[in-house]
Amino acid sequence: MLWPLFFLMTAIHAELCQPDAENAFKVRLSIRTALGDKAYVWDTNEEYLFRAMVAFSMRKVPNRGATEISHVLLCNVTQRVSFWFVVTDPSKNHTLPAVEVQSAIRMNRNRINNAFSLNDHTLEFLKIPSTFAPPMEPSVPIWIIIFGVIFCIVIVAVTLLILSGIRQHRRNTKGPSGVDDTEDKCENTITVENGIPCDPLDTKGGHINEVFLTEEERLTPL
């Protein structure tokens, strides 16, 4: 059923609609990929709808309000479902410029897609790129917010630690200077660490090895 109509069309407008003709565009559909089991068969009625959609898009262009469905020509339909189309002017002698067709299709791409239940990937117009929707981006990137939070926490913690260190230092310097007679007591108490008396450990060494070191050699002369 497809083929007699196809031959009729090519008989009348053989020169205008051809693969790689001037102002012709190739369309490729991937119906099975998009719809799976619910895929419809591509027949002449679907082609009619396609031509109607293209004519509709062209009618929206100023100056081209008189475009009819018969002005849209399809050719070389394959099993892939791909075909070429051109839009002719009312005299049907020459085709409309590619730039106009391109901008018209781009403006109405969404409507055309929806008519066939397809999207930009499954209904491809080769040489007519589609515009992607911009991604949602907040005014301040999220990472800066998290960074700000963490950095503030760190600065506060550092400040607190430094202040507590300074306070402890001041308390230490005030403490021993006021009490001289308890110095002996201090030395006695400190010798017990973690329940182990220090003196036996001292005699085993673990301190400066006197055989090798003199006072000035403790630090490496640089």
Residues near another protein (CB under 8 A) are 28, 30-33, 78-82, 129-132, 134-135, 142-143, 146-147, 150-151, 154-155, 157-158, 161-162, 165-166, 168-169, 172, 176, 186, 189-190, 193-194, 204, 206-209, 212-213, 217-221
Torsion of CA 94, 88, 17, 81, to 10 degrees: 160
List Cβ neighbours of 145 (8 Å cut-off, separation of 6 or more).
Answer: none
Q: What is the rounded CA–CA span in Å between residue 161 and residue 100? A: 70
Nearest approach, Cβ of residue 66 and another protein (Å): 30
The H-assigned helical ranges of the chain are: 2-12, 31-35, 44-59, 98-107, 109-115, 142-178, 183-190, 198-204
Nearest approach, Cβ of residue 7 and another protein (Å): 19
> Of 159, 20, 207, which is closest to residue 95 (Cα–Cα)?
20
When the beta carbons of 10 and 82 are compared against another protein, the nearer one is 82
Q: What is the rounded CA–CA span in Å between residue 28 and residue 210? A: 91
When the beta carbons of 59 and 169 are compared against another protein, the nearer one is 169
Nearest approach, Cβ of residue 26 and another protein (Å): 10
When the beta carbons of 69 and 108 are compared against another protein, the nearer one is 108
> Of 66, 25, 70, 18, which is closest to residue 47 (Cα–Cα)?
70
When the beta carbons of 139 and 220 are compared against another protein, the nearer one is 220
Handedness of CA 19, 20, 24, 25 (dihedral sign): positive
When the beta carbons of 12 and 154 are compared against another protein, the nearer one is 154
Nearest approach, Cβ of residue 212 and another protein (Å): 6
When the beta carbons of 97 and 176 are compared against another protein, the nearer one is 176
Nearest approach, Cβ of residue 70 and another protein (Å): 26
Nearest approach, Cβ of residue 17 and another protein (Å): 17
Residue 8 has which token pair? 């009729």
